[in-house]
Chain A
Amino acid sequence: MRDAYIIGAGQSAFGSFPDETYLSLFEDAFDTAVASVDGELAPEQIDEAYLGTLGVGGRQIGLSGPAVTEHLGLHGLPTTRVENACAAGGYALRSAVTAVRSGMADLALAGGYEIMTDTSADQTKWWLGVSGETEWERLSGTTFAGVYAQMASAHMDEYDTTIEDLSRVAVKNHANGAQNPKAHLGFECSLEDAINAPAVADPLNLYHCCPTTDGASAVLVASEELARKLSDHRIRVAGAGAASGRVGVYQRDSLTGIPASKTAAQRAYEDAGIGPDEIDFAEVHDCFAIAELVAYEDLGFCEPGEAGRLLREGITDPDGQLPVNTSGGLKSKGHPIGATGTGQAVEVFDQLRGEAYVQVDSPTVGLAHNVGGSGGGVTVHVFEREGGAA
C-alpha cells in the first residue's frame, strides 16, 4: 500500500451566513485549498471526490455531492456523498486517503459542507440530534447536549470532574479561536463567564456547547509521486484509524468514554507506528466541553479521569506540552457538521506548514479526531511532516 499526502487544504470562514449556499461555501473552501498547493494544480487532475454532509434542513438530501462538484466545474468527476453525522468529514478524508493508498486515485478531494443557521427555530429543533439514537435516546427527551450532559454527569460522578474543568475547555478554545479570523465565535471568554453561563442541559451550560455553524472545508490528498511534483512540503497521512460504536450512549460498555474513539485511535497509532506520546498537537472533537475531556482520555493523552488535570496544568494550551484545538475547536471555530472533520485537517495542515493563526512551536506530528454523533462513528488521523519541522 502506498502513502497518501496532503498537498492542499482550505476552508471557508465558519459562521452564520444565511445568504450563502452549501455550493457557494464549498466553492470558497475548494478555491482556498487549491490556492494552498505550492505547485500548479489543474482541477481536472482530481480523480475522485468524497464530500461529507449531514444535510441539515433537508436542502438536498439526495446527490448533494455531485451537485457540489458540478457546481465547481469538475464536470463528470466521480463524487461520493458521505454521511456519518459529525464525522462525515473525517470519513470523507478517510475515503480519499484510501483511494490514494490503494492506487485507484492519484489525487482525491475530501471535503464537507453544512448550512445550519438559515432554518427556522422550529426546523432547527427537528434537525439537532437527528444523529442520536432516535427511538429511545431522542425519545427520552434528549438532543446531543442532553446525551453529552449525561456522559458528563457520569464522568463527574466517577472521577470528581468539575464544572471548572469543563469550563476551562471553553476558555482555552475561545482564546485560540479569538485569533482565528475564520472562527465562528472569535471572542475570548473568562473562566467566570464560562462557569456562570445559562444552563442548556445540566451540567452543561451555553459555554460548554459548540454553536450551529455554516461552513465548508476541503483537503487535497495526493500520491507520493504527485505530492513531490506539486508540494514543497511533505505532509504525510501517517495513520488512519476509524471505528464504529453503538449509536446510543446507553447501549455502550462505558458512559465515561467513547469506545469507538479508543479503537480508532489505537488503529491510527498502529498504522502510523507511533504512540500518543509522539503527538505534538491535536485537533479533537469538542462539540461539548465534556467531549474534549473524554477525548484526552480516549486518545491516550492521559489516564481515565485525568483530563481535568491536563487543562488545569495548561498542558493543552498552545504553549503547553500537547496543544489541543489551536484552531478554536468546534467550540469557537464552529461546527458546520459535515465540514468539521476536514476543517480539522485544514488546521493540522496549516500547523505542519508553520502557517497556523495560533502556531505551535515546530510541530512534526499532528492528530485529528472527529466524532460522529455521540460516538457512533469516529475517525482519527495522524499527520506527519517528513524531514522535520517547517
Chain B
Amino acid sequence: MSADDHRGIDAGAIYLPRFRLSTDTITEAWGLSHASGIDRTAVPSADEDAVTMAIAAAERVLEQTSVDRGTIETVAFATTSPPLEEDASSGRLVRALDLPADCETASFTGSTIAGASALSRALDSCGPSLVVTADCPVGRLADDDHRLGAGAAAFLVVDDAAVPVVSTGWHADERPGVRYRRAGSRTVENLGVTNYERAAVTETVGTAVKNLEVDLESVSAVAFHQPDGGIPYRISRELSVDSDVVSHGTVVDRIGDAGAATVPIGLLLALGETDGQTSAAFFGSGSAAAFLFEGSLSVHGLDDLEEGVDLSYAQYLRERGHVVSGEVAGGGANVSVPNWQRSLDQRYRLVAGRCSDCGALSLPPEGACQSCHARDGFDLVELERTGEVEAVTVIGQGGSPPEFTEQQQRAGSYAAAIVTLTDGEETVRLPAQITDTDPQSVDVGDTVHATVRRIYEQEGVPRYGVKFVPLD
C-alpha cells in the first residue's frame, strides 16, 4: 500500500440481527452472568448465520455507495464462525451480491484477527474492494456464551477514500489458550488464566498500536479488541488513552463479542459519530493489528445498535439451535443440490424472464411464458427487491415440509407468502417466507423487502435464498 493513493474506507455499513439477549435474562437463567461490561448481546435468528449477516451488511454498503458493484475487484470476508468449517463463503458472497465473477476473493477465519486480515487484504489490493466481517460465535452455555454476540460490518475500500488509512502497525507472538476452538467443535474456549490472558491482550494490542505513526493524544476515537466491556479500557489505560475516546468505538456492551466483527462494528460507529483520527486494533491468536484512519463517514445501520427485540432465555436456546431434535429422516420430494445451484440467480437476485413474445414476466424464467404460454425465450431482468404480499399463511407446528422442521423448532411458526414483484409495469409472483416479524402480523397488501437467508440445510449443505422482511 502506498500512502500516496489515500487508500482507505469510502463507505461502511453494519448489520445486526434483530434479537437481543439481556444480561439480566442470563442472570435470571443461570443465577449469575459471565458478561462483564455487557448489557445485552445480539442474537442471530434461526435463519441467519455469518454468511447471511455478511450479505445483509454488504448489501447495505453497496446500496449507499456510488461505486457500481460491477467494478468491485476484491472481496475479503472474515468470520470465526463459518457455517461450514471447510467451504469458504467468498464465492457465495460474489454470487449473492452480484459481484464480478472475476474479482479476487479471500476468506479469513480461525481467529478474531481475521477482520484485520480482511481489511489489510483490501488495503493492499487495487481498485474498489469489499471487506465484509460477520460473526456469531458460540461458547459454553454456562459461561463463555454469556458474552458472545453477533453482527456484521462491511466496508468499501478504494483509492482517494473519504477515510484514508494513514498508518498500520502489527505485532505477532504466541499466546496460546487465550481464545481457541478445538477441531470439530463449534464452541470457543479460553483457559480462564485471567491475568495471563489479560496481559496477552493488552501487551500485544498495545505494542501494535505503539507501532502506529501517531500521537495517541490526538486520536478522537479508538475501536480496540473488545471481548468484554472491560478489556478495551484496560488496553487504553496502558496506552494512556482517555476512556471517552474508547467509548466512541466500543459496542460490545450492546452487541456482545461478535468475534471478528466486533472491532469493525466499533470502528464504523466511531467513523460515523466522530471526526478526526480513529484507531482500530484487532487481537487474535497472540497477534494484534492496528490501523489509523483519518476522517469520518456516513454509516448505514448504526440504528441497529440501539434497537432490537428481547428474547427469553428459552427462546434464545431455541433460536440458536441449542435445543432441536435434528434432521427429519424420510423420503419423498427432494430438490437436488445441482438444481438448487441452477436457481441461484432467482434465489439471490430475483432474476425473472421477460417473454420475448408478449413481454410478460415469468419466474423462474424457464419453459413456456406463464402468461401467453409461448416458448419464445426470455430476456432476463432483475426484479425490484421490494414487493407486495398477495397471499399469506402462518405455518404452525407440524404443518411444515420436513426441510423446515428444524427452523420451526427453533423459530416457531412462520409466515409463508406469495409476493408480487415488479419490473416496470409487469408483475410476477414468488412464494417465499416473510421473516424478522411476528408471522401473525403479516397481511395481504403488506410491503416487503428481499433479503438472503438460510432456507434449509440438507445433507450438511446449507441452502441460501430469498426471504422477505416487512417494511414499516
Contacts and interface: CB of A to CB of B under 8 A. Distances in A.
Interface of A: 58, 120, 122-130, 134-143, 145-146, 149-154, 157, 198-204, 246, 248-252, 255
Contact of B391 (A150, A199, A204): A150
Interface of B is mostly: mixed
Contact of A251 (B329, B429, B433): B429
A153 B430 contact: no
Given A140-B416, A255-B391, A248 B399 contact: no
Contacts of A142: 393, 395, 401, 416, 431
B383 to A, nearest CB: 14
A122 to B, nearest CB: 5
With a 10 A CB-CB cut-off, give which of A122, A123, A153, A249 has the most chain B CB atoms: A153
Given A157-B445, A201-B393, A248-B431, A134 B333 contact: yes
Nearest to A198: B396
B184 interface: no
Contacts, number: 141
A143 B330 CA distance: 16
A292 to B, nearest CB: 18
18 contacts: A123-B332, A127-B330, A136-B430, A140-B416, A140-B431, A140-B433, A142-B393, A142-B431, A143-B399, A145-B399, A150-B418, A153-B444, A157-B391, A201-B393, A204-B393, A249-B431, A250-B430, A251-B370
Interface in B253-296: none
Contacts of B328: 122, 125-126
A127 B332 contact: yes
B455 interface: yes
Interface in B439-460: 440, 444-445, 455-456
Interface stretch (B109-117, B305-313, B402-410): B402-410
Given A123-B331, A134-B333, 15 more contacts: A122-B328, A130-B333, A138-B403, A139-B401, A139-B403, A140-B417, A140-B433, A142-B401, A142-B416, A146-B400, A153-B393, A201-B393, A250-B429, A251-B370, A251-B429
A117 to B, nearest CB: 15
A202 B448 CA distance: 19
Contacts of A140: 416-417, 431-433
A157 B432 CA distance: 19
B343 interface: yes
Given A146-B393, A154-B390, A255-B390, A125 B405 contact: yes
A137 B431 CA distance: 6
A136 B399 contact: no
A126 B418 contact: no
Interface in B364-400: 364, 370, 390-396, 398-400
B335 interface: yes
Contacts of A157: 391, 444-445
B416 A141 contact: yes
B195 interface: no
Contacts of A204: 393
Contacts of A199: 394, 396
B218 interface: no
B335 A134 contact: yes
B77 interface: no
B329 to A, nearest CB: 5
